[in-house]
Every structure is written in C-alpha cells, then in structure tokens.
Amino acid sequence: MNTAYHIPVLLKPSVDALVTNPNGVYVDVTFGGGGHSREILSRLGPQGKLYSFDKDQHAVQNATAINDDRFTLINHNFRYIKSFISQLEPEGVDGVLGDLGISSFQIDHNDRGFAHRADGPLDMRMDQQSGKTAAEILKKYSEKELLHVFNNYGEIKNAYKLVKTIKAYNGPLNTVDEFKQCIDICIPKGEPAKYLSQVFQALRIEVNQEMKDLQTLLLDSEHLIKAEGKLVLISYHSLEDRLVKNYLNSGNLDGKKQTDMYGWSSQPFDCKPSKAITPNDEELQLNKRSRSAKMRIGVRKS
C-alpha cells in the first residue's frame, strides 16, 4: 500500500460494508494511492472484479503497480461511471465505493496548489490536462460567480468583502503566496488557517466541479448497483455529507421524500446504519486527516 501517497481512511469498515460477495463486481471511483482498491482485491475470489476510476495522473502511475487480472483502471472522471460500467457490466455491480475529496499526496505537493501552507502554482486541478486552474477562475469569473463559489462551497462569512478585494486587486494572482497577499485584509486574525482552508476548499471544489460529479454519481448509482448491493461514500466536509445523506434518505438531492399516488417511496436505497460512521480513536491518532471523515452506507432496495 502506498501510504506515502495517502493513508486510506476508514479502510476496514468501508470494505467490510462493501464486499458481501467475494465473486462479485465492485467499483472504486477514487483510486488515489490504491489503498481501498488493494483491500477490496484482497477480499475477492477468483471470479471477482474491480474497476477503479481516477483522473489524476499520479494516481494512474500508482495503479501500474497492481498486476491482477481482476483489476481494471479507468483513467477518467467518475462522473462517467454510468457510460463505462453500463457497457462493461450491463447486469450491474455489487457495490460502489467513493473516498471523496483530495489525497494527502495532492495536499503535500506544492506544485499542485491545493494547500495554503506553502507557495506554489495556483492550479488545484486534479486532472492537470484539462479545465480551468484556480488562478484562471479568480481572473475570469465575475463577482457574482465568485460570490456563488465562496458562499456555497466555502461558507465564507465575509464572502462579499473577499470577492470585492479579489476583483479590485491589480497584482498577479498566479501563485498561492500572491493570492494570500491579495486577500490578507480579509483573513481573520484569530483563526487564519481555518479561513484559508475554507477559501481554498471552495476554489478546489469549483475547479474540479466536485459537487456536480458527486450529484451525478449519486443519481447514476441506482441504475448500476444490483439489489442488496452497497453504495459506500466517505466525505470530508458538510456539503458532500449533506448531499449524500439527502440522497440516501430520500432518493433525491434535495432531501425531500416523495411518494407516488399509491404511497410508495421512490427512495432506491436504505441508509444502513441511519447515522454516519466516523473513525475510531485509534485511527484518529494514527491519521489526523481522518478527523472530518463521515461514511454513509446505502443498501440498494430489491
């Protein structure tokens, strides 16, 4: 396991929940360092299969170390899961796992611009071959668009002041340090790290369209997962967790339960257990980055 890349969070509980049929077909939508994928493969029998998705080229390089005929890496964004899996496994899969967010590797490598602690290019793209960088978004987005990003994805209390400051700035905004210099007057003196983390989270989510990807995954999951199959998702901030919780509890992204004219619910999954699972004390001591993790499990209804 490439723990230098990323320590897999809730490893045993997530795979325990996911793999119920050793000869089943499973999907890991976030390969990353391969920790969850390797653990899934260790539970599979000779007829089992695992498909893993990742668009990050560093993750793709990690996957080359897995020499297993039961394993297939799909070098694409998991928003395309339905297109790929419906063709590869037309009868459906037994479970889908997603460890959402970013890896320790991405946070710790300054050339990616994901973290505010060290200087580097203000990029933040998980797929560095496509899409707008964080720097381009800051320059090209209107005040209204930026306000939406910081309000909705970072829940920034002074988002209006932040956006006005960014748009009025005449200096370069190509690196982490340049951006921090630009918004210095907006950063609360009491908790600068928390504020910057929220700002960087908001930008990263917009750069990578993370919420839209998650919405697509949730809505497509009911068409891909067999009866009694599992949807296991690990999230790291309230925006993701709220979306997952809404979908599992209601069958839609708004969280509003709907029934047909006969009173039958359109909810495709049962949320079991009803509450999120969090890391235990031992895991929290070993991996501080797991402290915000919440795992929810959906069981596909018959």
CA-based Rg of the chain, rounded to a whole angstrom?
20
Same topology, domains 11-104+210-300 and 115-208? Answer is no
3-state secondary structure of 9: coil
Look up the pTM and report it. 0.91
Positive or negative, the CA dihedral 126, 128, 131, 132 is positive
Cα separation, 168 vs 88, in Å, equals: 51
Domain boundaries in the chain? 11-104+210-300, 115-208
Cα separation, 177 vs 120, in Å, equals: 8
Cα separation, 258 vs 106, in Å, equals: 40
Pick the CATH number of 115-208 from 3.30.950.10, 1.10.150.170, 1.10.1740.110, 3.20.20.70: 1.10.150.170
DSSP symbol at 273: S
Per-residue tens of pLDDT for the chain, all 302 residues: 444 456 899 999 999 999 999 999 999 999 988 999 999 999 999 999 999 999 888 878 888 889 999 999 999 999 999 999 999 999 999 999 999 977 666 665 667 788 898 899 999 998 888 889 999 999 999 999 999 999 999 999 999 999 999 999 999 999 999 999 999 999 999 889 999 999 999 999 999 999 999 999 999 999 999 999 999 999 999 999 999 999 999 999 988 877 766 667 779 999 999 999 999 999 999 998 899 999 999 999 98
Pick the CATH number of 11-104+210-300 from 3.40.50.300, 3.20.20.140, 3.40.50.150, 3.40.50.12140: 3.40.50.150
